Every structure is written in C-alpha cells, then in structure tokens.
C-alpha cells in the first residue's frame, strides 16, 4: 500500500518534519538525515484517487532531469524515491522565499528590475547550457541564494534535449502557466529554448510595470490570441522605463521565436550594456498595434500549425554564441589584427546568430592609475574605440550583434578573462605576436587567457618572418 507523507515518517533514512508548503500538485516537507548536515526539503507529488496522469508523468520527468543538473543555479539533489513506496525528491533547502514576493510588490525600482532580470537570465542560460528547457518559468519557480544567485526549481514540465519527452509522448494538450506561456507552446512545440526567453520577457514586463503583458488568461482560447495580439508597450504604463529596456522586453515577447533573442546570454549582454542596445521601432511604441496590423497577423496566424522547427538545444546554443574578440590596435600588430578579422568572418559562417564583442585593453602601470589620455592630451578611450570600429569594418552584423568595449587594467589577460566571464562569452579569439622581441611579453597574455578562461579560446599567431639580408 502506498505510503502517505506525514510528520515523523522515516523513509530511506530521511525523517520528515513539518510541512512547509502545499500546492496543487505536490507538498514540500522539512526533512533531515543522519548523514547530511545540509538543510533539506522533500517534494512529494500529490497522488489522488482520480486522474493524476500529468502529475505522475511530470514527477517522473523531474526525477530524470534534476540529478543531471549541476551548479549554483539549481538545487542539489540528495535523494529520491520511486512510486513503489512513496515518490519523492530530496534537495538542499534554499533559504528565503521565491521571487513571487518581489512580483507582488511590482512595479519595482528600475535598478532592481534590471538586476533581477540579469540574474534570472543568468540562471536560465545555465540550465540551457545543460540541455534543459524549463517551459514553466514563473516567479514562484525562481529562488535566490543569500549570495545572490538565482535558483530555478520545478522541472515537471521541462524538456531535456537528451532524454525522452514523456509529456509530449503521452499528452496532447499545451502545458505551462498561462500568463507566461509562449505562442509555440500553445502549438504544442516543446523543443525551443526561446520559449523560456518569452516567459522571461513576460516576467520582466511584470516587474517593470506591475501588470502582466497578457493579463491572467484562464482558457487556452485566450492564450491563442497572443499569436496575433501584441501587449501594451511597457512605457505606456510607466513613462520612466527607458527605451532600451522596452526594446529588450518587447524583443523577448515577439510572436515568432526567430525574432526574439536567440539565447539568454544575449539578453544578459544587453541588460549589462544598455548603451549598446540597438533601438528599433519597438523601443518607441506607446500603444498597441492598430486594428489593420492585428487583422493581418490574425489572417497569417489563425491556421498556423507550428513555427519553423528549432534544432536541438545544443545546436541552438552553438548557433547563437557570444564571441569575444580581443584586438591589439598597435601599428606593429596590424598583420595580426587582419588575420583575426579574417578568422572571425570565417567563424560567423557556421554561427549565423552569434554576437561579436570586440575589446581592446589599455594597459595601465597599475590599477587606479589614470590612462585616459596620452602625452599629447589625446583621449585614449575615444581613440581606441574609433580604432576598434575601424578594425571591425566588413564584419557583416547588425549594430545589436556587434559591440565595442575598451577595457583598462594593469593586467591585460585578467581584463579579458574577467570581461569574458561577466558577459558569459562562449569563445575568445585573440592574437599572440610572433616577433622575438615581444613574444615573451604578449605571449604570456594569451597563455594566461588560455589557462584561466572559463570558455574555449582560439589564439592566432603569425609565422615569424625571416630577417631581411643585404
């Protein structure tokens, strides 16, 4: 006979304490174990006598996915039990409440909105990198560690790119939380990581305005309308929202996944570099589209069966990386800079949705020493920025996918590594001089980047030219 959870129950060495939460599909319990000092919780699905198929399958999905996830953005799994006795998952307990408390007090100060949005995008990028699409993003499913990192929970509706999709195999109805569900989820497409970006855009909209972009629909027919109906622009509800933030939100809420951000890392990049966000007509909108525009979309979308099928999660991430290119602009390094330019153009052939972040480092004597002007009074940052943009001419990318940053540090390698980490770069491309007089110094920069960067690195080195003879 199946065991029901209750205070004092002992199962597989775990002892249940008080019940912490009771939801529609599961209960959460405080739990202890003699071998663990870490605070833990146990999640037990609510299995009733009626039709509980989705609950059972969803919990099986969660038990398959969660042990495969690692890192600070997911709760660590300590144990699990099957349906033979009592199904459960035991994880570390994340202190504090969910993000739902922040959303209850929305609209929030804009600085807080931007900070929370970036942290949520960072967590989302981490699970996508591990082949998982969440498909049920909502405020309740984000927790925050005391150290600030967001933690994503509740993977019952998720899809792992390398595991069977049990929900798709057994059920035909769209699944998700209606205020945040993406249009393609309504069309029963469960394999697109950009569905999560849509939900994240809806949450940022809510944090910034205090309103949900599509209200609180209760029927699938209401969800279907977002295939052709656009939300009221955020700035129409809150005038102080900057145009660049509205651009980010409305881009995430595009109906067609091809028109959204292609990765959470790219959204993070724009949140961290607002001055480099390319503004489109989305940024300036103050009202919904007119009846004629909505009618045209309705005619196009009313019989749509599916959007273009996306590749695998891994392939989507591969198509939309952030490529950091470190360029030496000194005259003697011009041949090397040209070689890097050619290499990045070659890389873009196979990565058509990539973003290229061009950087140059001004080396200071030590941190804190002003290196903004040279002996002639020329502003080095401006001069380097102009030089960097000149170098990038011929790289055929739109302004929002080609950015420029001048870094300043006494350690160029550290500057490159830190910038790559802060912007979640997927790959670094840089050069190392081959001339014997400079190799010892500049070669050490590339060697340190290769040794310490968290992402892959390509180093371009030209062949040494033989000395001229007379």
- Residue ranges of domains in the chain, CATH in brackets: 10-92 (3.30.200.20), 100-314 (1.10.510.10), 321-460 (3.40.50.620)
What pLDDT score does 435 carry?
55
What pLDDT score does 368 carry?
47
pLDDT greater than 60 at residue 466: no
Q: Return the higher-pLDDT residue of 359 and 96.
A: 359
pLDDT greater than 50 at residue 367: no
Per-residue tokens: 24: 């529609």
pLDDT greater than 70 at residue 353: yes
Angle of helix 243-252 versus helix 110-129 axis, rounded to 10 = 30
Label residue 464 by pLDDT band (50, 70, 90). low
Element housing 103 (H / E): helix 100-104
Q: Return the higher-pLDDT residue of 467 and 145.
A: 145
Residue 103, Cβ neighbours under 10 Å: how many?
A: 20
What pLDDT score does 55 carry?
84
Please give the Cα distance from 92 to 30 (Å, whole number): 10
What pLDDT score does 173 carry?
83
Label residue 369 by pLDDT band (50, 70, 90). very low
Task: Calculate the dihedral angle through the C-alpha atoms of 185, 187, 188, 190, rounding to the nearest 10 degrees.
Answer: -40
Alpha helices in 134-237 (DSSP H): 166-170, 183-186, 194-209, 220-224, 234-237
Please give the Cα distance from 372 to 364 (Å, whole number): 9
Q: Which of 77-86, 97-106, 117-126, 404-413 has the highest mean pLDDT?
A: 117-126
pLDDT, one tens digit per residue, over 402-450 is 989 999 898 999 999 999 998 889 999 999 876 545 455 445 788 899 9
Q: Return the higher-pLDDT residue of 414 and 309.
A: 414
pLDDT greater than 80 at residue 374: no
Q: What is the mean pLDDT of residues 200-224?
A: 94
**265 contacts: CB under 8 Å, gap ≥ 6:** 121, 125, 320, 321, 322, 423, 424, 426
pLDDT greater than 70 at residue 49: no
pLDDT, one tens digit per residue, over 253-270 is 999 999 999 999 999 999
Q: Which of 37-41, 64-68, 161-165, 440-444 has the lowest mean pLDDT?
A: 440-444
What pLDDT score does 71 carry?
96
Please give the Cα distance from 399 to 197 (Å, whole number): 21
Q: What are 224's strand-pairing partners?
A: none
Please give the Cα distance from 457 to 299 (Å, whole number): 48
pTM (2 d.p.): 0.88
The CA-CA-CA angle for residues 316, 317, 319, to 5°, reads: 65
pLDDT greater than 90 at residue 52: no
Per-residue tokens: 349: 């052939």
pLDDT, one tens digit per residue, over 316-331 is 888 889 999 999 999 9
pLDDT, one tens digit per residue, over 20-37 is 999 878 999 999 999 999
**23 contacts: CB under 8 Å, gap ≥ 6:** 46
b/e code 396-435 from CB counts within 10 Å (16+ = b): eeeebbbbbbbbbbebbbbbbbebbeebbbbbbbbbbbbe
Q: Return the higher-pLDDT residue of 356 and 83.
A: 356
């Amino acid at each position: 006979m199946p065991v029901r959870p209750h205070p004092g129950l002992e199962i597989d060495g775990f002892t249940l304490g008080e019940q912490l939460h009771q939801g529609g599909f599961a209960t959460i319990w405080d739990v202890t174990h003699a071998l663990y000092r870490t605070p833990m919780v146990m999640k037990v699905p609510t299995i009733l006598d009626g039709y509980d198929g989705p609950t059972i399958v969803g919990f099986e999905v969660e038990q398959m996915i969660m042990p495969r996830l690692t890192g600070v953005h997911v709760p660590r799994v300590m144990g699990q039990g099957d349906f033979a006795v009592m199904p459960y998952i035991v994880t570390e307990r994340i202190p504090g409440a969910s993000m739902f408390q922040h959303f209850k007090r929305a609209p929030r100060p804009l600085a807080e909105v931007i900070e929370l949005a970036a942290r949520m995008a960072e967590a989302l990028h981490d699970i996508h990198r591990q082949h998982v699409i969440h498909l049920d993003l909502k405020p309740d499913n984000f927790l925050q560690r005391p150290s600030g990192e967001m933690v994503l929970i509740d993977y019952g509706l998720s899809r792992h790119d390398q595991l069977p999709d049990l929900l798709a195999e057994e059920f035909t109805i769209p699944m998700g939380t209606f205020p945040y569900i993406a249009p393609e989820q309504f069309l029963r497409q469960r394999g697109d990581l950009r569905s999560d970006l849509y939900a994240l855009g809806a949450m940022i909209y809510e944090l910034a305005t205090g309103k949900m972009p599509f209200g609180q629909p209760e029927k699938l027919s209401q969800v279907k309308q977002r295939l052709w109906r656009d939300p009221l622009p955020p700035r129409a509800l809150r005038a102080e929202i900057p145009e660049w933030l509205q651009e980010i939100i409305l881009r995430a809420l595009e109906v067609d996944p091809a028109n959204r951000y292609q990765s959470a890392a790219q959204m993070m990049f724009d949140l961290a570099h607002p001055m480099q966000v390319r503004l489109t007509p989305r940024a300036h909108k103050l009202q919904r589209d007119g009846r004629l525009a909505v009618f045209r979309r309705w005619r196009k979308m009313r019989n749509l069966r599916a959007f273009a099928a996306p590749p695998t999660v891994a392939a989507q991430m591969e198509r939309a990386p952030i490529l950091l290119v470190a360029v030496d602009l000194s005259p003697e390094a011009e041949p090397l800079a040209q070689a890097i330019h050619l290499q990045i153009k070659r890389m873009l052939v196979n990565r058509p949705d990539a973003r290229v972040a061009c950087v140059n480092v001004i080396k200071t004597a030590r941190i804190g020493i002003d290196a903004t002007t040279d002996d002639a009074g020329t502003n080095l940052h401006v001069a380097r920025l102009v030089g960097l943009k000149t170098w990038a001419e011929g790289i055929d990318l739109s302004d929002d996918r080609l950015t420029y940053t001048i870094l300043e540090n006494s350690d160029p390698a550290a500057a490159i590594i830190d910038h790559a980490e802060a912007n979640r770069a997927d790959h670094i491309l840089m050069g190392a001089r081959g001339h014997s007089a400079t190799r010892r110094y500049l070669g050490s920069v590339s060697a340190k980047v290769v040794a310490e960067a968290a992402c892959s690195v390509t180093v371009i080195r030209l062949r040494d030219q033989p000395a001229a003879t007379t």
